[in-house]
Amino acid sequence: MRSAVLAATVDVLTEHGLAGTTVGAVARAAGVHETSVYRRWGTREKLILEALAEQLDAALPVPDTGHVRDDLTAYFGTLARLLATAQGEALLRLSVERDDTLPDRRLPYWTERLERGAVMVRRGVERGELAPDTDPGLVIEAVSGALFTRALISGAPLDEDLACRLVALTLAGVLPRNRAYRPD
């Protein structure tokens, strides 16, 4: 039942948008009882968040080309494209909404997503492509944070070129080339 309901949720979202995605509409599309959906997911928001999250992970594979720059550029290029779609934006918007009557499950959810991305950076460190003291999660947060902010807050355009420039920035920094880094 779980996967049928989640797939139906994505279908209803695609066709009717966020406002039209009620538990009733999803239950009808999945051919299950509305009460079963409420029993399992509790709220419409949690149902939609879980459905979109599954879809996001499936649509955002973690590449392993053997080169950290290529991996990150491909990964964040895909993320930029996804966030520019209505479904990607819906996932982010739902993540921003909080339901104070329920335990806040956003932090574990996003920590898991962050860890998925950090694997690429960690492999780069292991291969000696990146400095040994690199903070893998911080690299992912800097690039994805800029993409999320455009999608959610500023409304500025999102494309693969932006993702590529953000990856280059976090890898190489902006200090003059050939100037050794001096920690202060």
Please choose, out of 25-33, 45-53, 58-66, 129-137, the segment that lies near a second copy by the rule CB under 8 A: 129-137
Q: Cα–Cα distance between 99 and 109 in angstroms, integer?
A: 15
CB-CB contact of 78 with 120 (8 Å): no
Residue with structure tokens 């392993």?
Answer: 64
State whether the Cα torsion 18-19-21-23 is positive or negative. Answer: positive
Of the pair 27, 94, the CB lying nearest a second copy is at: 94
Of the pair 34, 141, the CB lying nearest a second copy is at: 141
What part of residues 55-74 is at the interface with a second copy (CB under 8 A)? Answer: 69
Site string for a second copy, 130-159 (x = CB under 8 A): xx--xx--xx-xxxxxxxxxx-xxxxx---
By rule CB under 8 A, what count of residues binds a second copy?
Answer: 52
What are the tokens at 10? 């994505």
Angle between helical axes of 34-41 and 2-16 (0-180°, round to 10): 100
Angle between helical axes of 2-16 and 86-96 (0-180°, round to 10): 110
User: Closest distance between a second copy and the C-beta of residue 174, in Å?
Assistant: 4
Work out whether 101 is an interface residue with a second copy (CB under 8 A). no
Give the CA distances from residue 157 to residues 18, 60, 81, 85, in Å, rounded to whole numbers and listed in that order: 22, 20, 10, 12
User: Closest distance between a second copy and the C-beta of residue 113, in Å?
Assistant: 9
Residues that bind a second copy (CB under 8 A): 69, 92-93, 95-96, 104, 106-107, 110-111, 114, 121, 128-131, 134-135, 138-139, 141-150, 152-156, 165-166, 168-178, 180-181, 183-184
